[in-house]
Chain A
């Protein structure tokens, strides 16, 4: 009896060690491009059969193909993006990543945390509200003192904190789309998200009672973020240039109706 029990215990401990070893070894090798993403239409989202698709998804796949690398998409919590990058569990942030903004918590520019690729798309933040309250939200001033929702660590959060001022409050969400539920449920007055996302989702499905407010916000650009000093930045830049020159990038943008936003800026560096 004693022997059986101790054998069983040893067995369990051994299995435990194997599991932990297996999960430590390997890691993300050089030949894999592991993109940290959140679900975000039309950049990265799941199609009917559960596979990742979207503009950024396909763009990353094309770049990886160009570089002879395998591409992987790893969903992350947006607030953990720098930790994931530092720990090496992803090796780029490729998810409609606004390059020319600051992090709300630290006030530091994002380029202090990551190396950016060329910027490739124009974007704008926008204010999402309940459609029935459109009259209340006519100007940026009307946002002061209200309660907002924005994705933790997003460009929208930075804007929201400024817009509501001292008297208001900003509620953090794990992903941009989660803010839609906050607005719909009435927990917050408005949400600040990327306009490309809002155009896809506000007014459709369960979000049919939401709308984009007529408030003009400053424009910004998307780029891919890499770990500081990574040699991937140069490689990906090269592949982006090739794909832009041979027209494949423009083709892809057209597929997702983004041809007006596409703009590869090879002079951009954070």
Chain B
């Protein structure tokens, strides 16, 4: 097994890693906003319901959530889940949406009350105030904690292998089990480092672009 052919096969595994990562972000970023609004809602039952939900999702291990979504339909409904990949995406999206929602909430609540009031005085509606005045400031303020979570997500994708979604770490383990090759396992670290490096550069760039918001 040459370095080249190992790299090619690991890249194949990294494609799954990347897909889990990208699809999770695609679903959890907007879902997190919905949850954030729910947890700030003036309607009490909704607010309590959402906060209990966030408590549960943040309170139990992601690995357990993956197991629950994967096994429970088969146990209780006799309707086995057919897509392991789909299960992973659902579990990751819900989990990360809850973490994101708290970051969003912190960001939104950190914007000075007087800006809402100024908007109201000018006769803007609540959605207008949110999207035209508040949102971009929130994005600027939450960039650092969000980049933390997003980088964590890159590495959390490795959890998908507990239900045998064959991502890069699993591919590397397969080398050890079927070809008696151990070094690919450690070589995977380079793939993660490179990808997180690119993300870090991207976050730095975005933060600079949002720099004009400094008050």
A167 in the interface, Cβ–Cβ < 8 Å? no
Determine whether the beta carbon of A16 is less than 8 Å from that of B176: no
Q: Kindly state the separation between the CA atoms of A77 and B173 in the bound complex, as whole angstroms.
A: 13
Q: Kindly state the separation between the CA atoms of A77 and B30 in the bound complex, as whole angstroms.
A: 33
Interface-located stretch among B40-48, B72-80, B189-197: B72-80
B100 nearest CB across to chain A (Å):
13
- The number of A-B residue pairs with CB atoms under 8 Å apart is 113
Tally chain A residues at the interface, Cβ within 8 Å.
Answer: 44
B181 in the interface, Cβ–Cβ < 8 Å? yes
Q: Kindly state the separation between the CA atoms of A92 and B9 in the bound complex, as whole angstroms.
A: 29
Determine whether the beta carbon of B80 is less than 8 Å from that of A23: no
Is the contact region of chain A dominated by helix, strand, or loop, or is it mixed?
helix
Hey, which chain A residues are within 8 Å of B78, CB to CB? Answer: 88
Interface-located stretch among A56-64, A139-147, A173-181: A173-181
Residue of B nearest to A204 (CB): B180
Determine whether the beta carbon of A46 is less than 8 Å from that of B74: no
A113 in the interface, Cβ–Cβ < 8 Å? no
B142 in the interface, Cβ–Cβ < 8 Å? no
Choose one: B90, B176, B179, B180; the contact of A23 (CB below 8 Å): B90
A246 in the interface, Cβ–Cβ < 8 Å? no
Hey, which chain A residues are within 8 Å of B26, CB to CB? Answer: 12
Determine whether the beta carbon of A23 is less than 8 Å from that of B164: no
Interface-located stretch among B49-57, B81-89, B106-114, B198-206: B81-89
**Known A8-B30, A20-B90, A83-B71; contact A177-B176, beta-carbon cutoff 8 A:** yes
How many residues of B sit at the interface, in one of the four size bands?
A: 35 or more
Residue of B nearest to A5 (CB): B131
Q: Kindly state the separation between the CA atoms of A54 and B46 in the bound complex, as whole angstroms.
A: 55
A36 nearest CB across to chain B (Å):
10
Choose one: A2, A9, A39; the contact of B174 (CB below 8 Å): A39
Hey, which chain A residues are within 8 Å of B182, CB to CB? Answer: 181, 184, 206
Determine whether the beta carbon of B180 is less than 8 Å from that of A207: yes
Hey, which chain B residues are within 8 Å of A75, CB to CB? Answer: 164, 166
B18 in the interface, Cβ–Cβ < 8 Å? no
Determine whether the beta carbon of A2 is less than 8 Å from that of B131: yes
Residue of B nearest to A9 (CB): B30
Hey, which chain A residues are within 8 Å of B27, CB to CB? Answer: 12, 15-16
Residue picked from A2, A41, A88, most chain B C-beta under 10 Å: A88
Determine whether the beta carbon of A87 is less than 8 Å from that of B179: no
Hey, which chain B residues are within 8 Å of A205, CB to CB? Answer: 179-181
B177 in the interface, Cβ–Cβ < 8 Å? yes
Q: Kindly state the separation between the CA atoms of A129 and B145 in the bound complex, as whole angstroms.
A: 48
A267 in the interface, Cβ–Cβ < 8 Å? no
Q: Kindly state the separation between the CA atoms of A39 and B166 in the bound complex, as whole angstroms.
A: 13
A190 nearest CB across to chain B (Å):
18
Determine whether the beta carbon of B30 is less than 8 Å from that of A175: no
Hey, which chain A residues are within 8 Å of B82, CB to CB? Answer: 23-28, 89
B104 in the interface, Cβ–Cβ < 8 Å? no
Q: Kindly state the separation between the CA atoms of A8 and B34 in the bound complex, as whole angstroms.
A: 12
Determine whether the beta carbon of B177 is less than 8 Å from that of A89: no
What are 12 A-B contacts with C-beta separation under 8 Å?
A1-B128, A2-B131, A5-B131, A19-B86, A19-B89, A20-B86, A39-B177, A75-B164, A87-B75, A205-B180, A206-B181, A207-B180
Q: Which residues of chain B have a CB within 8 Å of any CB of chain A?
A: 9, 26-27, 30-31, 33-34, 70-75, 78-87, 89-90, 93, 127-128, 131-132, 162, 164, 166, 173-174, 176-183
Which 10 A-B pairs rank lowest in CB-CB distance, beginning with the nearest? A205-B180, A87-B74, A23-B86, A88-B80, A23-B83, A177-B177, A26-B82, A27-B80, A39-B177, A2-B127
